[in-house]
Each structure stands twice: as C-alpha cells, then as structure tokens.
Structure 1
Amino acid sequence: MNAGGWTRRDGLAAMAALVGGAWLPPVARAGQLEEPLADSVRTALSAAVANDTPPVPEFFDTERRLAYLRWLGANSERLRRRKPDFQTRIEFLQTVWYETRRAGLDTTMVLGLIQVESGFRKFAISSVGARGYMQIMPFWSRLIGDGDVGSLFHMQTNLRFGCVILRHYLDRERGNAFMALGRYNGSRGKSEYPNAVQAAARQWAHPDA
C-alpha cells in the first residue's frame, strides 16, 4: 500500500472502471447482499417501487416552495461540473428531492451516497455488477421489480430502487444510519463506507435541505 492508501488491486480496479466508462471509488466496490425477504416485506417493497407517480414536488405553502427553490439553485451550481447540462441537473435534483422525501430519507445523505457510489454517473457499473446512480444490484429487479435489469439505468427507476432499499435497511437497523449504510454497501459494521458517505454528504449540505 502506498502513502495515499491505495493498493495495486485498487489501481487495477480503477483502471478497469475507467475503461468501462465508470469511475467508482474503491470504497464503493461492494454491493447490497441478496438476503431472504419475508413475503410481506417483498410485497411492500414491490409496491413501493411500482408506483409510477411523476417526480414533481408539491408544496402546500409559499415558504416551503421557496426553500426548495433555494436548495435546488444552490445544488445545481455545485453539480454543474459533473452535469454541465442545466436541464439534466434540474431533473436529476428534482427527482432526488422527490424520491428521498417519498421514502422518508435525508436528501443530503442520499446525495452523499450517490457521490460515493457512482460519482453521479447514470450508467456506472461496478465490478460486481451494481448499476446506475445508486449502484443497484441486479437481483433487486428480480426480487421486487419487473425483472428488467436494463431499467436500472433509468434515472427515476434507479433512484426509486435505491431510496426504497435504503429505507428498508434503515427500518431493519431501527433507524441506525451507520449500520444501514454499511448494509447498503455489503459491509455492515465496518466504518469505511458510512464515513465516506457522511463526508461526501457534507459537500451537499444546505440550510433548506
């Protein structure tokens, strides 16, 4: 291992990722582990990902709408380097906002997770086959989706799966974000991944988040 903490294997994995068009940090190489699901859990998760409601935020008062617009504007600027096209940025952030609130998640934490998992690359594929923004393992499409693995590259589908899965892990861990993030990465109980997500999340912090 060199002074920066990289091993030769890390370097080879990074080269392979670059060749495949997806830069993935070493910490995100793992993926969710397939585990047996109770029928009631499978049904609930399937229903949660099947709802095709358009990701359009709704607000019941002007102040909440203004807070959202301030958040959207600030994070659009932060995301400009990674997503130069304005409309693409806005649609992505709007969908993240919608899906995180739909799942009862911290939007800032999910942005940190996306940064660590895929570097905001829509078509990222990890060395273990995890796909898209939130690096969804293909088995989830079979377990709770329609079996179409290709749909995991669709923006809203990927974000919805990721948010529903993270919500499931948070519920299993009784709200413990550290353990839930570890489970999401397939490294439950280890600190590297949760710490990386929390560090990345601080870059997306905003008073109106």
Structure 2
Amino acid sequence: MRIGVLGFTDKRPILYPLMKLLQYTGDVVVITDDRRFKRLLEDYTSPGHLGNIMICVTDATPDEVWEEIDHRENDFDHVIYDLRDTLHEDIDMYIHVKGSDYEDGEKDFLECVDAYTPIKLMYDGKPDRTKETMNIPITLKLLSTLEILENKKVLLPLPSPKVNKAIAKLIATHLSLKMSDALKLLRKGWQS
C-alpha cells in the first residue's frame, strides 16, 4: 500500500499509529523531511530501522529517495510518503492533515489532489465543520505520549480513542482487517 500524508502541520499523531498498524502486515518505509522522526532511530541516524519499519529522513523528492537509500519501492509492503507540497504518481491513498489553519498555498495545492481524506488536528480546540473531515482533539497527554515513545524508541498505543478509530477506519479494509481487529492492534504494546 502506498500512502501520501499531506499537510504542513506536525503529523506525528497520525503517522505514528499509521506506522504501528501497517507494520503488523508487512515491511514499512516512511519517507519524511521531518527531523523529529530521527528521535525514533538509534543514534538518530537516517535511514534507520524501528523493528520492520525503515525510516528515511531526507530532503530528496519521492522519486530521488530510492537512489539515496539504495532500495526500490517494491522492496516494501507499505510506503508512507510524508509530503508537504509534492505529489507522487503511485499513491493508493492520500490523507491531508490540517492543523489550526491552512498554511500559505496549502489550499491551492490540495486542489491538485484528486481525492484525499481530511483530518483536522484540533490544536485550537475547534473542529472543522466539513462533514467528511475527521476531527482529532490534541491533548497534553497525547503530545507527552509522543515524547515518551520517541524517548523509548517504540510505537506504544496512543491515549486517544479518536486517533485509533480514525486510523482503523482509514486503513482496516485496505489491509483486509476488521475494524475491531485493527483497533486491537493499535492498542497492543510494541512488538519489534
């Protein structure tokens, strides 16, 4: 499965559980320019591994990255592209993660995307009133859990039923899982 996660905000509350769920069904690679992902890696060295998840922190484009890491897209069962303003032609699903508001040019960029699932991280406490948008409250407990799992270098369950439900709803059918099974996997401890 090839997933493009779009947006300019901190997408870790969505990407970490997405990585956790996908790793149960195959090898995963995450391609991102977000330097915070290095916190999950031994010695903060990229590319690196967290269990069967390869994390590549780079400024290369989605097409250039494969030469940089000496792999091919087909070497992995699941590829997550953490994208800001770049599209990739071989994507099965786009997710747009919005923070409190749109950044400059973000709305214009989204007009170039055929279809995507919108998720709003409610840092400001205000939900997006669009019917198809999944609204996720961002709590201090959720943010502190991100810090803990980066510190321990594990993908622990997030203390947010809304995040878990959103990820399970988005991905379960693509992985041939029941939603209840996907939720169980998201609530499990880390298994590297």
Q: Which category of TM-score, normalised to the shorter sequence, fits these structures?
A: under 0.3
Higher strand share: 2
Q: Normalized against structure 1, the TM-score is what?
A: 0.25
The structure having more radius of gyration, on CA atoms, is 1
Q: Normalized against structure 2, the TM-score is what?
A: 0.26
Higher helix share: 1
